[in-house]
Chains A and B, each alone.
Chain A
Amino acid sequence: MSNFIDVCALDDINLDTGVCALVNNEQVAIFRPAASGTLFAINNYDPIGKANVLSRGLISDVKGHLTVASPLYKQHYRLDNGECLEDENVRVTTYQTKVENNRVLVAV
């Protein structure tokens, strides 16, 4: 059973951007796409660029999939399942999110 942890206020995440939260010692990138009513969370570590930067990437719509483009070398990671569009062998962990009373919660 997932354990949701409160990380920040919804307003702390600008529309169409991401932030990084520290949840149970894991770095979680949380995105708030303008295109969707929901939030998405994936691991913040870019396995190709080898740095904790994904929360700082641009939210990008690629053929109908919402992704984040890594700010280092521009690979796209799907926000819903963590898949890297450029390399099917690469995938980042995804996490559940929800919004309650204007607070953002993540389950790790």
Chain B
Amino acid sequence: MTNKQNLIVIGNGMVGHKFLESLVELEQAQNYNITVLCEEPRPAYDRVYLSSYFSGKTADDLSLVSEGFFEANNIDLKLNCKAQSIDRTAKSVTTESGETLSYDKLILATGSFPFVPPVPGHERDNCLVYRTIEDLEAITAGAKNSKVGVVVGGGLLGLEAAKALKDLGLETHVVEFAPRLMAVQVDEAGGALLKTKIEELGVRVHTNKNTQNITDGDTCQHKMEFADGESLETDLILFSAGIRPQDAIARECQLELGPRGGIQINNHCQTSDENIYAIGECALWGGMIYGLVAPGYNMAKVAAQHLSQCGDATFEGADMSTKLKLMGVDVASIGDCHARTEGALSYAYTDEVNQVYKKIVVSADKKLLLGAVMIGDAEDYGNLLQMALNNIELPASPEALILPSLDGAAKPVLGPDALPDTAQICSCYDVSKGAICCSVQDGAQTIGDVKAITKAGTGCGGCTALVTQVMNNELTKLGVEVNTDICEHFAYTRQDLYNIIRIEGIKSFAELINKHGKGHGCEICKPAVGSMLASCWNEYVLDDKHIGLQDTNDIFLGNMQKDGTYSVVPRVPGGEITPEGLIVIGQIAKDYGLYTKITGGQRIDLFGAQLHQLPDIWRRLVDAGFETGHAYGKSLRTVKSCVGSTWCRYGVDDSVGLAIELENRYKGLRSPHKIKFAVSGCTRECAEAQSKDVGVIATENGWNLYVCGNGGMKPRHTDLLAQGLDKETLIKYIDRFLMFYVKTADRLQRTSVWMDNLEGGLDYLKQVVLEDSLGMAEELETQMAAVVGTYQCEWKTTIESPEKLKRFSHFINADQPDDNVQFVKERGQIRPANENERINKDNLIAIS
């Protein structure tokens, strides 16, 4: 213990925390007593996704700290504890509260602060910045009494902030000093198109505006006066005019700084004092402050390795290329996008109709790609970035890289083979081509597998297409033929078969296997085809031509239990049930001696029903107004709800009413796997909607729609698909979402895995569902309308058909029940007898 050294880390932002994570992975971390001084009231959180705070994420959601991290690693975390000064001679740090701590090694991860131009009036009320969660809270509070909001600064963060103001319902303006938006990353033509697109989204953009003074407004709280004599009135001003390194503490102890600030570091991230390191946005390397998270993470790793003398990583600058979606507009910038390299040549392509702009900058000999700008369509980003980073020789006509392909001619896409193993494919998680190839060699066969193993593509998702190419290339190399055939009888995927059934209008399994398959079908393809036929044509599942396709659960419209008996689950839409309904269910359970249990989906499950009892039980349920709950089917199960605004003091909207409506709309829809919904009446989220395939949460601004979550073996939270919807739009989006899932998912693939395997993931899904990028929204809605319009309660149809009821008897030639079914009593109800009880006839209950 005594020979441990003291390590102090100042700052627990994204980079400071990454340093801790990198360090504790190393054995040498044991040599240090680690103390972290954090000025903010909470430990590290994700500042990159800060704007998601306005679309429903909480501070907890944004946290980057895994549970028990500090405790498990014996790190002393001091929150609300600002480091005031450093005494390099005494090797100690003094905090604002006066405590002095000595160090052997010191890490400065103090980050940056937003630059507020010293315009007179910049300190007025409601003049805010956008960096911390506290800032966001102030913005939310300020927006409540505001109608108009202005963001000063049209850079990347400024546009993010503008989106936040827009989401808060303000009339939003962006005021930029430069002649164009995103002046650093985008050239003039690109900036102009970006401005057009952003204005179309309802944000006013004012470029070439130099704010001179902020004073009292006439119609709003403030008036901004510009150098050109014009003015703009606003209630809230958000400064986002760039960042400055937080280097005051370093300046005061006379560490070497850059002429315009920033703590000078070497390739090991050491400052001019070898015992002090600086990482992230407070550090200056090669005259550059790196305002992106990836280079900061890299510095964190380098510092951790150097400090513990393990590994020889060095920081040698970083690529500042970026690709992002700003208010739904794709923007990408690579390398020297302004063609400042000597002799550089440019190719540009503008499509005013579709509002796309692309430019590439190449070397004088046209051999190398130096930079690129893309607005409106950034699909080529991954490809171009790899060409630029790896100095890959360009094709003879480089312009083909950005021109749309005509006559179906393929674009010259970089084959994954051309990339070195060290090529970084995913910059968010620093995953190299080599790491992806390794995961494939270790058995990954789908993009979902690769994501799970390497994390590649799970950050911004911009590299997913490239990750897929690398994976497929490696699979081919390994000679792995990825067989996506559904089974030995059909050389097609489920998606292929679904399209064949739709397009050719195929109505039966026999027709499908005769035309497109071989053999006689099996327990894999038959139920899958049965499900697809039902999704497409919605015929009665026990129709003679479909009955042989159904799993036993579907044939007997119940869930088979371990002893061959079935469970009975009547539908209870939204979990709302009358006392009369409860009494009917209770009386039936009593009369047939069934075991009853409340399910997780807010309904009642009756166990132990034998085949011959099912029709009688269901006749009584149907007579009382109940319908089948489809608990047995790969179909909509339940729409769970909280009590909602009708009764709850906190309810914002009627979650029960909506849940009932949704459950009645989608009941009976056959799908690749079961589907679960939930609706919460406010953001307290008592219905746990964020763990369902489809979750809906009421907010003051309308319904928020979440998708692709599930519980089970691998729980997954939902992602926000759309927000602030009225009911009509909500239902339209759910129609499209579900039908697209039914159309394109694999057999037994839940929505979460399905989305993970969609190239482009959530963004792609948003484009398809919200923006109708595939032009199939109307078709999907029509198909859903057909399913909704042809709904029938399968149990009602069955009990009305004497022919069908013949099957509901254990023996075709005798009335007696199966003598192997035996029950004993437990906690006042029946349960299946175990083998011993059966043999010894211990306490068996007489069976009717």
Q: A: which residues have CB within 8 A of B?
A: 7-8, 12-17, 19-23, 27, 30, 33-35, 45, 49-53, 56-64, 66, 69, 71-72, 74
* CB-based contact A53/B555 at 8 Å: no
- Please determine whether B813 and A56 come into contact, CB atoms closer than 8 angstroms: no
Bound-state Cα–Cα, A27 to B552, Å: 18
Quick check: B560 and A20 within 8 Å, CB to CB? no
Evaluate contact between B488 and A66: CB separation under 8 angstroms.
no
CB distance from B821 to the nearest CB of A (A): 8
Which 4 pairs of residues, A with B, have the shortest CB-CB distance? Answer: A16-B548, A71-B552, A35-B520, A61-B520
Please state if B555 and A56 are interface contacts (CB–CB under 8 Å): yes
B201 at the interface (CB under 8 A from A): no
Nearest chain-B residue to A57 (Cβ)? B552
| Contact partners of A7 in chain B: CB under 8 A | 812-813
What residues on B are CB-neighbors of A60 within 8 Å? 521-523, 526
Known contacts: A34-B548, A50-B835, A72-B562. The answer to whether A63 contacts B813 by CB under 8 A is no
Given A15-B544, A71-B551, are A52 and B522 neighbors across the interface (CB < 8 Å)? no
Select one of B521, B807, B818 contacting A27, CB under 8 A: B818
Contact B813 A8 (CB under 8 A): yes
| B562 contact set on A, CB distance < 8 A | 49, 51, 72
Task: Tell me the complex Cα distance, A5–B549, Å.
Answer: 29
Residue on B nearest A17 in the bound complex, by CB:
B548
Q: A7-B813, A20-B811 are in contact. Are A69 and B523 (CB under 8 A)?
A: yes
Contacts known (A52-B820, A71-B560); A63 close to B488, Cβ less than 8 A: yes
A60 and B551 alpha carbons, distance in the complex (Å) = 11
Give the docked Cα–Cα distance between A62 and B806 (Å): 29
Chain A residues with CB below 8 A from B560, complex form: 53, 56, 71-72
Tell me whether A33 and B814 are in contact (CB under 8 A).
no
Q: How far is the CA of A30 from the CA of B811 in the complex (A)?
A: 11
Minimum CB–CB distance for B631 against chain A, Å? 16
Which one of A19, A58, A62, A74 contacts B526 once the chains associate, using CB atoms below 8 Å?
A: A58
Contact B564 A52 (CB under 8 A): yes
User: Is B288 an interface residue, CB under 8 A from the partner?
Assistant: no
Q: Which residues of B have CB within 8 Å of A23?
A: 813
Q: How many A-B residue pairs have CB under 8 A?
A: 99
Q: How large is the interface on B (under 10, 10 to 19, 20 to 34, 35 or more residues)?
A: 35 or more
B523 partner, pick from A30, A33, A58, beta carbons under 8 A: A58
A74 touches B523 (CB 8 A): yes
Contact A33 B812 (CB under 8 A): no
Residues on A with beta carbons closer than 8 Å to the beta carbon of B820: 45, 51-52
Chain A residues within an 8 Å CB radius of B549:
16, 58
- Asked if B519 lies at the interface with its beta carbon under 8 angstroms from chain A, I say yes
**B813–A61 CB distance below 8 A:** no
B716 in the interface, Cβ–Cβ < 8 Å?
Answer: no
> If A63-B488, A71-B560 touch, does A14 touch B547 (CB 8 Å cutoff)?
yes
Chain A CB within 8 A of B816 CB: yes
Bound: A40/B549 CA distance, A: 18
Task: Check if B563 is an interface residue, CB within 8 A of chain A.
Answer: yes
| Complex Cα gap A31–B835 (Å) | 28
B78 touches A (CB below 8 Å): no
Scan B273-287; emit 1 where CB is below 8 A from any A CB, else 0: 000000000000000
- 28 A–B contacts, CB within 8 A, in A order: A12-B812, A13-B812, A14-B807, A15-B548, A16-B547, A17-B547, A17-B548, A19-B807, A19-B812, A20-B810, A21-B812, A22-B816, A27-B811, A27-B818, A34-B510, A34-B548, A56-B552, A57-B523, A57-B552, A58-B526, A58-B527, A58-B551, A60-B523, A62-B488, A64-B519, A66-B520, A71-B553, A74-B523
Question: What residues of A have a CB within 8 angstroms of the CB of B544 in the complex?
Answer: 14-15
- The residues of B that contact A33 with a CB separation of less than 8 Å are 520
Q: Across the interface, do B563 and A51 meet the contact criterion of CB distance under 8 Å?
A: yes
Cβ–Cβ contact A61 & B807, under 8 A: no
- The yes or no answer to B618 lying at the interface (CB within 8 A) is no
Contacting residues, chain B, for A63 (C-beta < 8 A): 488
A15 CB contacts on chain B under 8 angstroms:
544, 548
Residues of B within 8 A of A71 (CB): 551-553, 560
CB-nearest residue of chain A to B816: A22
Name the residue of chain B whose CB is nearest to the CB of A66.
B520
B residues in contact with A22, CB < 8 Å: 811, 813-814, 816
Tell whether B556 is near chain A: CB-to-CB under 8 Å: yes
Q: Mark B501-534, 1 if CB is under 8 A from A, else 0.
A: 0000000001000000001111100110000000
A34 touches B818 (CB 8 A): no
Complex: how many Å from CA A56 to CA B765?
A: 40
| In the complex, chain A residues whose CB is within 8 Å of the CB of B552 | 53, 56-58, 71
Point out the residues of chain B lying under 8 angstroms from A69, CB to CB.
Answer: 522-523
> Which of B519, B810, B820, B835 has the most chain A CB atoms inside 10 A of its CB?
B810
Q: Within the assembled complex, what's the spacing in Å between the Cα atoms of A25 and B820?
A: 12
Of residues B510, B562, B563, B812, which shows the largest number of chain A Cβ atoms within 10 Å of its Cβ?
A: B812
Q: Say whether B489 faces chain A, with CB atoms less than 8 Å apart.
A: yes
| Among B549, B552, B813: residue with most chain A CB under 10 A | B813
**Chain B min CB distance to A25 (Å):** 9
Chain A residues contacting B519 (CB-CB under 8 Å) are: 35, 61, 64
Using A22-B816, A51-B820 as known contacts, list a sample of 20 further A-B pairs with CB atoms less than 8 Å apart, ordered by residue number in A: A8-B813, A16-B549, A19-B812, A20-B810, A21-B811, A22-B811, A22-B814, A27-B818, A33-B520, A50-B835, A52-B564, A56-B552, A56-B560, A56-B564, A57-B523, A58-B552, A60-B522, A60-B523, A69-B523, A72-B560
B535-573, CB < 8 A from A = 544, 547-553, 555-556, 560, 562-564
Taken residue by residue from 803 to 825, chain B's Cβ proximity to chain A (1 for < 8 Å, 0 otherwise) reads as 00011001111101010100000
CB distance from B91 to the nearest CB of A (A): 67
A58 to B813, CA, bound (A): 21
Interface centre among A20, A33, A56, A58 (most CB of B within 10 A): A58
Contact A62 B522 (CB under 8 A): yes
Contacts of A12 in B (CB 8 A): 806, 812
Q: How far is the CA of A14 from the CA of B521 in the complex (A)?
A: 16
A57 cross-chain contacts in B, Cβ below 8 A: 523, 552
CB distance from B259 to the nearest CB of A (A): 73
The answer on a CB contact under 8 Å between A51 and B812 is: no
Q: Which of B462-512 contact A (CB under 8 A)?
A: 488-489, 510
Give CA–CA (A64, B488) in the complex, Å. 10
Chain A residues with CB under 8 Å of B555's CB are: 17, 56
